Amino acid sequence: MVLKLKRQILSFGREIVVYALLMAGYLFVILRYLADWLHQLFLHDRIFYAGVALAAVVVQGLVLDQLTRLLLHLVRTDRKAGE
Amino acid sequence: MTFPISGAHIAPAALIAVGFIVGVLGGLFGVGGSFLVGPALFGFGVPMNFVVGTDLAHVVGKSIVAARRHSQLGNIDFKLGFVMMLGTIPGVEAGAQLIEYLKRTAHVDKVVGFTFVVILVGMAGFMFWEGWRHLPFRVRAGRLVRHREPRAASDKPALVAHLVHRIQRINVGPHLRLTVSKIERISVWSIIGVSLVGGIFSGFLGGGAGYLRMPSMIYLLGVPTHVAIGTDLFEIIASAGYGTLTHAIKGNVDILIALVMHTGAAIGAQFGALLTQYVSGSSLRLAFVPLLLLGAVIILHGLHVPHPASGR
C-alpha cells in the first residue's frame, strides 16, 4: 500500500515536472505574444474577441486533456517497465 | 504581471495555484470548485464584472474534459441536458443583463459580493452537514464512537422523496420520459424551471452554478447522483459557452486570466482523481468547509477596502 502510494506520488511528481516545463513555455507564448493582440481585439472588435475567447478556452481544454492522457500513458508504461 | 484586459496585477503562479485547487475539487467530486474562483479573483483585485465573465470562460474548458469522461461512462442524460439548456441559456442571459444593470448603477461589486458571501456560507453549512452525516463515527459523551451504519450518500430524507414525487406529478404538459435518469414521467416545465434558476445564478455569479443545479436535480427532479453530475457537466458546456460569449461581448471576460488558471486546473484534476483512492468524500467535504468560509471572508474584506481595479 505504502509502496504503491510512493510509486504513484513519484509518477505524479514526474508528470508535474514535464507539465510545468510545457506550461511555462505555453504561458510564455500566451502572455508575451498573444496578450497585446487579445487586448487590441477586446478594445476594437468585441464580437470577434468573444469568438476567439471561447475558441481558445475550448481548444486549450481539449489539448490539455490529450496531453494529460499522453503523459499518464508514458508514466504508466515507464512504471510497468520498472516493475 | 499586469493582465491588460481587466487591468489586474496578478502573479501567474497565483492563478495557476487557484486553478489547481479548483481542479482538485473537480477531480474529487466530478463537479464544483468554480465557486472558489470568484473570491480568489476578487481578492487578487479583479473587478467583479470580470470575475463573473472570466469564471464562466474558465469553466468551459474544465467542463469539456470532464463531460467527455462522463460521456464514456454513460453518465449523461442527453435528453435531460438539451431540455435544461432551454432554461439555462435564457437564465444566463438574464444574469448577464443584471450584471450590466449593476455596472451602470455602480453597485456591481457590492451586490454580487454579498450574494457570493450568502452562497459560500450556505454551501459551507451544507457541506459540513453532509460531511458530518456520512462520517463513520460520532461524538458521544466527549468520546469518538464508531457509527455502525453510516447512511449511504444516495439516501434521501422522507421530505425530499415526497418533494420529488410531488414535482414529478406536476400535470402541465408536455411530459418527458427520461430513461437514463430512470424517470418515468416529468413535466418539461419542472426541468426548465430548475435550469432557469441555475442559469440566472451562473450568469450573475459566474461558474457553472453546480452548487445550486446539482442539489436541485437530485433533490427536486429525482435524478440519480452520477447522472446529475454527468448531465450537469454536459449542460454547462452550452450554458457557460453562451455565458462566455455574452459576457465577452459586454466586456466582462479576461481570457488571459481564464487560460492561465485553466492550466492549473488540468493538473489539479489529475491530483484530485489520484486522491479519491486514499481519502473519503465525507472527510474531504469537511476539509473544504474552511476554504469556503475563507472565500466569504476574502470577499467581505474586498468590499470594505478600496478595490485596486475599481472604476473600470
Reported ipTM: the value is 0.80
Yes or no, beta carbons of B256 and A68 under 8 Å apart? no
pLDDT for res A63? 85
- The residue that leads in pLDDT, A54 or B226, is A54
By three-state DSSP, how is residue B220 classified? helix
Residues B45, B308: contact at Cβ < 8 Å? Answer: yes
Count CB atoms within 10 A of the CB of residue B121: 14
Count CB atoms within 10 A of the CB of residue B206: 34
Domains in chain B: boundaries: 2-135+155-304
Cell of B128: 459540513
Cell of A47: 464580437
Burial class for B298, CB neighbours closer than 10 Å (0-12, 13-18, 19+): buried
* pLDDT (mean) for A15-22: 74
Q: What is the dihedral of CA B168, B171, B173, B176, to 10 degrees?
A: 20
Residues 6+ apart with CB under 8 A from B184: B168, B177
Yes or no, beta carbons of A54 and B60 under 8 Å apart? yes
| C-alpha span between B312 and B310 (Å, rounded) | 6
Question: Quick check: B57 contacting A, CB < 8 Å?
Answer: yes
Cell of A27: 504561458
pLDDT for res B38? 81
Phi-psi category of B263—alpha, beta or left, where left has phi over 0 and alpha has psi -120 to 50? alpha
Cell of B224: 440519480
Yes or no, beta carbons of B65 and A61 under 8 Å apart? yes
* Chain B residues touching A23 at Cβ < 8 A: 16, 263
* Chain B residues touching A15 at Cβ < 8 A: 270
Yes or no, beta carbons of A64 and B266 under 8 Å apart? yes
Number of domains in chain A: 1
Residue A55 reports pLDDT greater than 90: yes
B54 to chain A: nearest residue by CA? A53
Select from B312, B311, B307 the least CA-distant residue to B45.
B307
Helix B188-205 vs helix B225-249: crossing angle, to nearest 10:
50
* Chain A residues touching B244 at Cβ < 8 A: 50, 53-54, 57
Count CB atoms within 10 A of the CB of residue B22: 29
**Burial readout A14-39 (b: 16 or more C-beta within 10 A, e: otherwise):** ebeeebeeebeebbeebbeebbeebb
Select from B242, B287, B258, B288 the least CA-distant residue to B46.
B258
Which helix (H) or strand (E) is B84 found in, with range?
Answer: helix B78-105
Residue type at position B123: M
**Best residue in A40, A45, A64 for a mutation probing chain B (most B CBs within 10 Å):** A64
* Chain A residues touching B271 at Cβ < 8 A: 12
Q: Select from B57, B68, B255 the Cβ nearest to the Cβ of A65.
A: B68
| C-alpha span between B260 and B65 (Å, rounded) | 16
* Chain A positions with Cβ closer than 8 Å to B: 5, 8, 12, 15-16, 19, 23, 26-27, 30-31, 34-36, 38-39, 42, 46-47, 49-54, 56-58, 60-62, 64-65, 67-68, 72
pLDDT for res A68? 73
Q: Residue B174, preceding bond cis, omega within 30 degrees?
A: yes
- The domain of A10 spans 2-82
Question: Quick check: B266 contacting A, CB < 8 Å?
Answer: yes
Q: Select from B65, B249, B274 the Cβ nearest to the Cβ of A65.
A: B65
| C-alpha span between A13 and B42 (Å, rounded) | 31
One digit per residue, the tens of pLDDT, for chain B of length 312 reads 788 888 888 888 888 888 888 887 777 666 566 777 888 888 888 888 888 889 888 888 878 877 777 777 777 888 888 999 898 889 988 988 888 888 888 777 788 888 888 888 888 888 788 777 766 666 666 666 666 554 444 455 566 666 777 777 777 778 888 888 788 788 888 888 888 988 888 888 877 777 778 778 887 888 887 788 888 888 888 888 888 998 899 888 999 999 888 888 877 777 776 666 666 656 666 777 787 788 788 888 877 776 655 444
Cell of B49: 464584472
By three-state DSSP, how is residue B73 classified? coil
| C-alpha span between B145 and B305 (Å, rounded) | 46
* Chain A residues touching B27 at Cβ < 8 A: none
| C-alpha span between A73 and A68 (Å, rounded) | 8
Quick one: pLDDT band at residue A83, thresholds 50, 70, 90?
A: low
Residues B206, B52: contact at Cβ < 8 Å? Answer: yes
Select from B26, B185, B176 the least CA-distant residue to B86.
B176
Cell of B44: 487578487
